[in-house]
Amino acid sequence: MRVKFLPAAVEELAEATEYLRARSPRAAEGFLAAVTAAQELLLRFPHSGSPLRGKTRRILLRKYPYQLVYRVAGEEIRIYAVAHLKRKPAYWQNRLRE
């Protein structure tokens, strides 16, 4: 099993990290640690996230208002979005068309 971030999710991760880093390097480090912890949890328990729609699930990041939107596809966990919980709800849904 492996975790794969789609390009748009990689971009969102970088943007969120830079946003936090501009305010506090410590917050950015904590954010990245929370993303890593969520990935590790998903590798152990791929279906542990809350169901959203169809096969799409989400896992909330501890201490940060972000979620990883993902699907399990065979031996791969595909992260479609690193989405802020209070901005543009469900903007990432068009990414789910594969």
Domains of the chain, earliest start first: 2-87 (3.30.2310.20)
* Range with lowest mean pLDDT among 25-34, 36-45, 69-78, 83-92: 83-92
Q: For residue 65, give Cα distances in angstroms to 44, 51, 73, 85, 98.
A: 23, 18, 26, 5, 27
pTM: 0.92
Per-residue pLDDT tens over the stretch 32-73: 999 999 999 999 999 999 999 889 999 999 999 999 999 999
The Cα 42–Cα 44 span in angstroms is: 5
